[in-house]
Amino acid sequence: MRQSRTFIPTLRESPADAEIASHRLLVRAGFLRKVASGIYEFLPLGTRVVHKISRIIREEMNAAGAQEIMLPIMQPRELWEESGRWSKYGPEMMRLKDRAGREFGLGPTHEEVITDLVRKNVSSYRELPLNLYQIGSKFRDEVRPRFGLLRAREFLMKDAYSFDRDEEGMRLSYQTMYDAYGRIFTRCGCTWRAVEAATGLIGGDVSHEFMVPAEVGEDQVALCDACSYAANVELATYRRHETPRGEGKALEKVFTPDRRTIEEVGEFLGLEPSRLVKCLMYLVEGRPVAVLVPGDREANEVKLARVLETDEFRLFNEADWRDHPQLLQGFVGPVGLDSVEIIADEYLRGAGGLACGANQADYHLVNVEEGRDFRVHRFADVTSARTGDACPRCGETLRVEAGIEVGQVFQLGLKYSEAMRCYYHDEEGVARPMYMGCYGIGVTRLMAAVVEQHHDDRGIIWPPSVAPAILHILALDYQREERRRAAEDLYRACMERGWEVLLDDREESAGVKFADADLLGIPFRAVIGKGYDEDGSLELQERATSRRFRMDRETLLAHLQDTLDTLEVTAGGGGG
């Protein structure tokens, strides 16, 4: 690529809406442009990176026995009705009608389409296992698209689906994908970890997310360094501290005027926040449910959904409070709350010496004991783990870290195959549902994650495996004949070897060339300047380390060859 002829519209200023490094740098360096909120154009350099990442994914998926196909983005409503997800997916699914009024969704995921394909075309145990994948555009109408490629509305995804005869086969397919994922993220230059994850709208029982640790990540992961327990905070468990016990003191009502927050009430009563019972009112499928958590914790709604076995719930809004006048907003407590179901966090089981709202304005109850003063219908784990909590496996200290989810794998079991009648015939001719798994990688999100892990204040630092080019040739004072000829020679030599290089053939100052090169982040740079005039040597610079080496042309080419060879060796090797 000749820089003078390549479409690389760099910017001096960051876009106003760019909150994080990957968004800022990919736009400034001319890899990306925004068309509309959460919708992007990939320019030549950005497209190259997407292709590099896609190639790594294809190599590892093919090596793992998956076969590439292409599925439509537009999916008929009828298929989504079969799985029950047409209504469940809600406004996140983009929907449209054709001229005849038939309804379609733009695929946020492809379980329905692939299950339909397989049920119509696979009927014998002999054809299983089967693993099919695609790399294509997905749509999710995010409430708040942000962070550039991290939360986009249209994005590129690799999704794979496995079909097996039985549960054991499904587990094997799952493990094969899990291992391939580790190799993919390692080859893309990412530090990553696999963590236990919630299954959400996709469904199934077992799932892992692949997280790239990054401060800007929207996911929180609970980790134990002692036993390697790792789980998304959405479902990470933790050992409760010893529950406080009561001393048999009589229940007492205390006047607590003008004290509303947990902190204010706790301070007034001289109690730790964990001794105060927070009584949260939820409307669950139209009926009120009280959820009790210790005052220093929040309710975890992903866990709550599992306990309630429904996604149809919300915290009381103003109208809900008006509809239930017997529940006094701000002073609800479990004592005497006989009309509603009470769910409490495990921590409160048998707890005493507690304080809670008295169901009366400006009053709280103290010396409250669970079991004696109120009854809980169900105890469950409904609060989130946080740094300092005890590991559920070994009891050592957990820490919570932010990460970007770049991939997720699911054991779906029979969820879709039973709902959509995706059956095969076994050796005896008996029809059985197929065990499915599904496996996603956010390709464009992975590109952003790579940048989050590889940049400095001057620009991007691409890992060689996904860089848009391996070498950036900079001839300083390009109009000087001998330097220009040396640059052209080197460019040609690289092209003959089939390498991807970028030649800065612009008549710009050295300062501009270096600043742009830093911003673009190509791993190696060959500078042709004063050294060349003196003894014909070039300067090889590493973007990642800023190290510089003076060498002749042949040594430089050999050095690059070594680097490229190493990348090839990494391919298909161990990882993670």
Residues that bind Zn ion (CB under 5 A): 224, 226-227, 229, 391, 393-394, 396
Q: Which is nearer to Zn ion, 208 or 513 (CB)?
A: 208
> Shortest approach of Zn ion to residue 237 CB, angstroms?
11
Other CB atoms within a 10 A radius of the CB of residue 404 amount to 29
Minimum distance from CB of 399 to Zn ion (Å)? 11
d(CA 79, CA 115): 9
Smallest distance, Å, CB 227 to Zn ion?
3
Closer residue to Zn ion in complex, CB, 261/387 = 387
Q: Shortest distance, CB of residue 225 to Zn ion, whole angstroms?
A: 8
State the nearest-atom distance from the C-beta of 398 to Zn ion, in Å. 7
CB atoms within 10 A of CB 508: 18
Q: Which is nearer to Zn ion, 88 or 393 (CB)?
A: 393
Q: 255 forms bridges with which residues in the sheet?
A: 363
Q: How far is residue 514 from each of residues 169, 247, 511, 553, measured CA to CA in Å? A: 54, 72, 5, 20
To Zn ion, the closest distance from the beta carbon of 239 in angstroms equals 10
CB of 238 to Zn ion, least distance (A): 10
Q: Which is nearer to Zn ion, 152 or 222 (CB)?
A: 222
* Residue nearer to Zn ion on the CB measure, 222 or 348: 222
- CA-closest candidate to residue 256, choices 161, 174, 365: 365
DSSP symbol at 91: G
Give strand ranges (E) for 6-86.
32-36, 39-42, 67-68, 74-76
Residue with tokens 């599992």: 306
DSSP reduced 3-state for 249: coil
Q: Give alpha helix (H) positions in 401-523.
A: 415-419, 443-453, 481-496, 510-520
**Closer of 155 and 238 to Zn ion (Cβ):** 238
CB of 194 to Zn ion, least distance (A): 16
CB closer to Zn ion out of 224 and 354: 224
Q: Write phi, then psi, for 36 (nearest 5 degrees).
A: -150, 170
CA dihedral defined by 118, 123, 126, 132, rounded to 10 degrees? Answer: 0
Query: β-strands 471-475, 501-504: how paired?
Result: parallel
Q: Cβ distance 464 to 571 under 8 Å?
A: no
566, burial (CB in 10 Å: exposed 0-12, middle 13-18, buried 19+): exposed
| Coil/strand/helix, residue 290 | strand
Nearer to Zn ion, 96 or 227 (CB): 227
- Extract long-range pairs of 192-197: CB within 8 Å, 24+ residues apart: 192/406, 192/576, 193/221, 193/223, 193/230, 193/403, 194/230, 194/576, 195/221, 195/223, 195/230, 195/231, 195/232, 195/403, 196/230, 196/231, 196/232, 196/235, 196/236, 197/231, 197/232, 197/234, 197/235, 197/408
Residues with Cβ within 8 Å of 112's Cβ and at least 6 positions away in sequence, in order, are: 75, 79, 80, 82, 83, 85, 416, 420
Please tell me the distance from the alpha carbon of residue 515 to that of residue 356, in angstroms, as a whole number. 61
Write down the least CB distance from residue 333 to Zn ion, Å.
35
Query: In the beta sheet, which residues pair with residue 435?
Result: 164
Considering the complex, what minimum distance in angstroms separates the CB of residue 401 from Zn ion? 15
CB of 389 to Zn ion, least distance (A): 11
In the complex, what is the shortest distance from the CB of residue 384 to Zn ion, in angstroms, rounded to a whole number?
A: 17
In the bound complex, what is the minimum distance in angstroms from residue 394's beta carbon to Zn ion?
A: 3
Closer residue to Zn ion, CB minimum distance, 224 or 470? 224
Residue (394 or 430) nearer to Zn ion, CB: 394
Nearest to Zn ion of 63, 227 (CB atom)? 227
Specify the residue, 229 or 435, whose C-beta has the smaller distance to Zn ion. 229
Closest approach of Cβ 190 to Zn ion, in Å? 24
Contact by Cβ (8 Å): 479, 171: no
Work out the number of other CB atoms within 10 angstroms of the CB of residue 540: 19
Nearer to Zn ion, 128 or 398 (CB): 398
Please give, one letter per residue, the 3-state secondary structure of 97-161.
ECCCCCEEEECCCCHHHHHHHHHHHCCEHHHCCEEEEEEEEEECCCCCCECHHHECCEEEEEEEE
Closer residue to Zn ion in complex, CB, 78/396: 396
Alpha carbon distance 429, 343 (integer Å): 47
